[in-house]
Structure 1
Amino acid sequence: MAIGVVGVYVSVSVGNDLFQSRLSQVLVDSSRATAAAQGIFDASDAADRVEVQALVGSARTLITAASSSQLIAIFRVPGQDASTVAPQDSSSFGDSNGVITSDLRSSVQDNAGEQFWQSVTLATDDGGQAPGIVVGSQIAVPVAGRYELYIGYSLADAESTLLFVQRTLGVAGLILILLIGGVTWIVVRFVVTPIRVAAATSQRLASGDLGVRIPEKGEDVIATLARSFNGMADSMQSQIKELADLSEVQQRFVSDVSHELRTPLTTIRLAGDVLYDQRSTFPPAIERTAELLHTQVERFELLLSDLLEISKYDAGSVQLETEPTNLVHLAEDAIDGLRSLGESKGTDLMLVAPGGHLDAEVDPRRIRRIMHNLIGNAIEHGEGRPIIVSVDSNESAVALSVRDYGMGMSPAEMAHVFDRFWRADPSRKRTIGGTGLGLSISLEDAVVHGGWLQVWSRPGEGSCFRLTLPRLANGELSTSPSPLPPDDAGAASPAAVLRGTEENDA
């Protein structure tokens, strides 16, 4: 584009300069030829028609010699008295006679002693066309009166020069484009290509290929960049290896400790059960101690199980045992198992399943654990209000939602709800013996199924946890059958949901 703009500018500039130069020359030649012809007329004493006609012929010959133009036209100015000696109008323009326009003639007729010119297109001898200029002025012929004199000049030579310049510019532009292409190729080869290699190498590093490096060649800036990049990659690989080793040691430590604690824990559990069964024979203080020992040993055993499960996820050794499972049946079993706990808290558990009677290929043990954690968490934070468990499905997914109307959470608290051992209120005591790992394990169970575990909550309006799973193993999710936020978001009670369920049942 730049070369094209420059070429057009140069071509137009050269064309304008050629035209202006030729125009100046034409005006000078025309003025000189007109003055020479007028000098012949002024020095003549011709009195009859023959003499005047001969005088005009001599003037044409002089004009042709002075102007180097064969295109000459002489017309008597209209409006003069009739004269018998006035020569007839004559023109050598031939087919180009029409280029002398009425506007040009009017200007010449009305302004004696001045020159007027006009750009025209002249016919050539070979039947073609060429640009030209017609210059008009007045001359006074003795006895005959005033005449219009028009001299035509061809600009074919100037046009040829301009075409030559344009062709030269075109060839030069093409050569320049080729040169620029060659320079660009060199730049791409020696500058852009290494940058692309660096970008591809960084992508491979980001994808986990820590051994990839940029080839180092030469001592230029690109080589310096490659050495710096490779040094950074070496440092990252070393640090990542150290972190991986440390993580592996930590995981192995947790797993080994959990396994090793099982044997003494079993012994303590058996001893505690004996004491717990005989607690009625003990004094009140010892009886209470036996009950506390039994409760804490159960919680300790649950914590060990959760730690073992977390260590399996950290080590990437989890294997699913999927089978066609109906989530409604799992939800019914989970609700039945926690109903007594809910009644002790004054909480009513309700199951709503408008479209959940479709099987999904899941690991029932892990899904049952998710439901137990979600419902137990809702009971603990539901403040005695009803809890609605909803199961719904579509052609590709099945979803379970646990909705409570308790204290709710702020956005900042929701961001940490799946963190390990996190509690919204650290001073709040766990009343159902949780380990603090339930929601973290539930999230891992959902992810390993290729599903989602999401939460909506608002202070004073309760919370809603939604589990969405693909119906087929290794399936992909795009939408969830259950809405989040729930349809009754903002409601203080489950009345709206219950009314909607009754309408669906009807």
Structure 2
Amino acid sequence: MRFDWRGWLERLVRVWRRSLRVRAVAVTLLLSTVASLAIGVYIAVSVRGNLFDQRREQIVAEAGRATTAAQSVFTQSSASDDPTDIDDAGDRAIDVIVQGVSTHPLIALQRAPGLGGIPALEDRQSPAFSDGMVSDALRAAVRTGGLDKVSWQSIGLVDPKTGATSPGVTTGSLVDIPGAGRYELFLVYDLGDVQNTLNFVQGTLALGGMALVILIGAVAYIIVRLIVGPVREAADTSEKLAAGQLEERLPERGDDELATLARSFNRMADSLQHQISQLADLSRLQQRFVSDVSHELRTPLTTIRLAGDVLYDHREEFPPATKRTAELLHAQTQRFEVLLGDLLEMSRYDAGAVQLDIEPTNLVRLVEDAVESVQPVAQERGTAVRVIAPGGYFEAEVDARRIRRILQNLLGNAIDHGEGRPIDVHVDSDADAVAIAVRDHGIGMSATETQRVFDRFWRADPSRQRTMGGTGLGLAIAQEDATVHGGLLEVWSAPEQGSCFRLTLPRRRGDVVHGSPIELPPAEPADTIEAAS
């Protein structure tokens, strides 16, 4: 089974970004590890240097004493020229060296070539001694250093049984043997005990460093938990307050800074709950007032409308002034009735009492029906309305009545502000969403006006004569209709270039809209581009 490195890394990054506790403990462990490592390396290097320097000085001093003792033995035997006595003196010198040193070094007494004398004394050396333990540089230093100089070098000693390498020091000096000439005296010391001491110190430092890092990590975790825990609890409580659970509060424990924070947070939550409750009560009263007034006005409005219709039907029988009055009464009564209907609809949205009648709907046919319903008004204004539907997944689960209302409102606005120029209605869809865009080429709007276009009772040009609607609630209701479907109603506009409203809806109820099949604004049809050029 292959390990998923990418998924593991993504989870690690996600935990790192989301958890303050993890970041704090990790940074503390990292910094303490670096500090412990730096201190441990410094101590280990210092200890190593001190141990080596002390042991080297001891070895050099010991080698100097051994050389002096050996020279004394050979000097005392100088009265005899018998080779046998010289050979015995060599044995006694080796014994004196062995007895005079604190450890058991390897010893080699070798003829120094080219220094004169006769080879009356054979070379002597320990069985484990090898010429590789003495470098040419050390031999040259010994020959040129004189009788009072002890030279040294660091070497590596290989155990023939295990093959392990341990540090060592080789010292070299000259011994003048009367009747035999000068000989080189080499002592090879094994520093394995020093290395063992250094390994013990390094191991102790490593274990101590790891224990210290773990201890610091545990302390950091406890401290961070004590601090971050209340902060996380405050964040969770804030989320619950934001979700509408206004009764949630933080526990108040102790008298420290965190307890002060909890008390301040709770006082703030109490104040917010009180103000939100007041606003909610006012909102409910406002909604109830609008709904009650709208319902109460329907009865007298119906009576006024019936009376107005009678007068309007007989307007030709009246004098001109009375006829004009009957026409104005009829028009304003209709407008008042539309306004009451819009107010009732907005009150339903404000109260959250809107229910959708969802069914699979072919949006191309719905658009064609909406265009056909506004054709008389469009022809009166000399405006051509074209439907552009390239084909695709046009069915969607929507409330056809509300979508038709959105389209009629957008088409009415386009006719009113289109300056008689063509209006293009684009319909397109993909596997996840369906979109309708109504594009006019009229006066357009500025950026400031575009930001307020969905506000209630707001008009870009209140003095402009309108052909359809006119209550100032049409686009606000259209946006609510789009939102309740889980869709988006967006606008693009530029002065003297026209406006475009795009409605994007999910094809299946409950889905989320992630994009739109139509650009905003959509690309111009070829014939429109040719006419503009």
For normalisation by structure 2, the TM-score amounts to 0.85
Could you tell me which residue of structure 2 aligns to residue 276 of structure 1? 312
Whether the 8 Å contact between 1:367 and 1:445 is mirrored in structure 2 is yes
- 1:325-354 CA distance string (max 9 Å, x none): 222222222212211211222211111222
- Distance in 1 between the 2:178 and 2:451 partners? 112
Over the aligned positions, Cα root-mean-square deviation in angstroms equals: 2.7
- Distance in 1 between the 2:177 and 2:531 partners? 115
- Distance in 2 between the 1:164 and 1:436 partners? 88
1:349 maps onto 2:385 in alignment: yes
- Distance in 1 between the 2:132 and 2:193 partners? 22
1:83 maps onto 2:118 in alignment: yes
1:101 maps onto 2:135 in alignment: yes
- Distance in 2 between the 1:476 and 1:182 partners? 45
Secondary structure of the residue aligned to 1:135 is strand
Counterpart mapping for 1:168-247 below 5 A:
168-247=204-283
1:373, distance to aligned residue in structure 2 (A): 0.5
Residue type of the partner of 2:373? G
Could you tell me which residue of structure 2 aligns to residue 501 of structure 1? none
- 1:243-267 CA distance string (max 9 Å, x none): 1111111111111111111112122
Which ranges of structure 2 fall in alignment gaps of 5 or more residues?
A: 1-32
Secondary structure of the residue aligned to 1:94 is coil
- 1:305-332 CA distance string (max 9 Å, x none): 1111111111110001122222222222
Whether the 8 Å contact between 2:117 and 2:179 is mirrored in structure 1 is no
Secondary structure of the residue aligned to 1:494 is helix
Match of 2:411 among 372, 375, 378: 375
Q: Which moved more, 1:152-161 or 1:372-381?
A: 152-161
Whether the 8 Å contact between 1:356 and 1:391 is mirrored in structure 2 is no
Residue type of the partner of 2:505? L
- Distance in 2 between the 1:207 and 1:93 partners? 89
Whether the 8 Å contact between 1:420 and 1:437 is mirrored in structure 2 is yes
- 1:197-224 CA distance string (max 9 Å, x none): 2222222222222222222222222222
Residue type of the partner of 1:89? D
Residue type of the partner of 2:64? S
Which ranges of structure 1 fall in alignment gaps of 5 or more residues?
A: 499-506
1:117 maps onto 2:152 in alignment: yes
Counterpart mapping for 1:6-85 below 5 A:
6-42=39-75, 44-68=78-102, 69-81=104-116, 83-85=118-120
Could you tell me which residue of structure 2 aligns to residue 441 of structure 1? 477
Secondary structure of the residue aligned to 1:246 is helix
Over 3 Å counting, the alpha-carbon distance change for 1:410 and 1:95 in structure 2 is farther
Over 3 Å counting, the alpha-carbon distance change for 1:236 and 1:296 in structure 2 is same
Could you tell me which residue of structure 2 aligns to residue 504 of structure 1? none
Could you tell me which residue of structure 2 aligns to residue 307 of structure 1? 343
- 1:397-455 CA distance string (max 9 Å, x none): 22211111112233333222212122234554444341111111111111111112122
Could you tell me which residue of structure 1 aligns to residue 18 of structure 2? none
Over 3 Å counting, the alpha-carbon distance change for 1:455 and 1:139 in structure 2 is same
Secondary structure of the residue aligned to 1:475 is coil
Whether the 8 Å contact between 1:116 and 1:137 is mirrored in structure 2 is yes
Residue type of the partner of 2:413? N
Over 3 Å counting, the alpha-carbon distance change for 1:411 and 1:145 in structure 2 is farther
Could you tell me which residue of structure 1 aligns to residue 36 of structure 2? 3
Q: Which moved more, 1:166-175 or 1:451-460?
A: 166-175
Residue type of the partner of 1:90? R
1:388, distance to aligned residue in structure 2 (A): 0.9
Whether the 8 Å contact between 1:96 and 1:122 is mirrored in structure 2 is no
- Distance in 2 between the 1:477 and 1:254 partners? 33
1:80, distance to aligned residue in structure 2 (A): 3.8
Whether the 8 Å contact between 2:335 and 2:469 is mirrored in structure 1 is yes
Residue type of the partner of 1:19? F
Over 3 Å counting, the alpha-carbon distance change for 1:84 and 1:136 in structure 2 is closer
Whether the 8 Å contact between 1:328 and 1:356 is mirrored in structure 2 is no
Counterpart mapping for 1:135-174 below 5 A:
135-174=171-210
- Distance in 1 between the 2:65 and 2:252 partners? 79
Secondary structure of the residue aligned to 2:357 is coil
Could you tell me which residue of structure 1 aligns to residue 367 of structure 2? 331
1:424 maps onto 2:460 in alignment: yes
Residue type of the partner of 1:280? E
Over 3 Å counting, the alpha-carbon distance change for 1:171 and 1:359 in structure 2 is closer
- 1:130-155 CA distance string (max 9 Å, x none): 42211122232223222222112222
Residue type of the partner of 1:162? L
- Distance in 2 between the 1:364 and 1:124 partners? 94
1:476, distance to aligned residue in structure 2 (A): 3.0
- Distance in 1 between the 2:389 and 2:218 partners? 71
Q: Which moved more, 1:472-481 or 1:17-26?
A: 472-481
- Distance in 2 between the 1:70 and 1:329 partners? 107
Q: Which moved more, 1:208-217 or 1:36-45?
A: 36-45
Residue type of the partner of 2:152? W
- Distance in 1 between the 2:114 and 2:325 partners? 142
Whether the 8 Å contact between 1:326 and 1:357 is mirrored in structure 2 is no
1:302, distance to aligned residue in structure 2 (A): 0.8
Secondary structure of the residue aligned to 1:424 is coil
Whether the 8 Å contact between 1:139 and 1:148 is mirrored in structure 2 is yes
Residue type of the partner of 2:242? A
Could you tell me which residue of structure 2 aligns to residue 248 of structure 1? 284
Secondary structure of the residue aligned to 1:484 is coil
- Distance in 2 between the 1:283 and 1:338 partners? 33
For normalisation by structure 1, the TM-score amounts to 0.89
1:156, distance to aligned residue in structure 2 (A): 2.8
- Distance in 1 between the 2:248 and 2:199 partners? 59
Match of 2:490 among 431, 443, 454: 454
Secondary structure of the residue aligned to 2:183 is strand
Residue type of the partner of 2:141? S
Over 3 Å counting, the alpha-carbon distance change for 1:50 and 1:409 in structure 2 is farther
Match of 1:409 among 422, 430, 445: 445
Could you tell me which residue of structure 2 aligns to residue 482 of structure 1? 518
- Distance in 1 between the 2:132 and 2:270 partners? 87
Over 3 Å counting, the alpha-carbon distance change for 1:96 and 1:182 in structure 2 is farther
1:17, distance to aligned residue in structure 2 (A): 1.7
- Distance in 2 between the 1:29 and 1:382 partners? 111
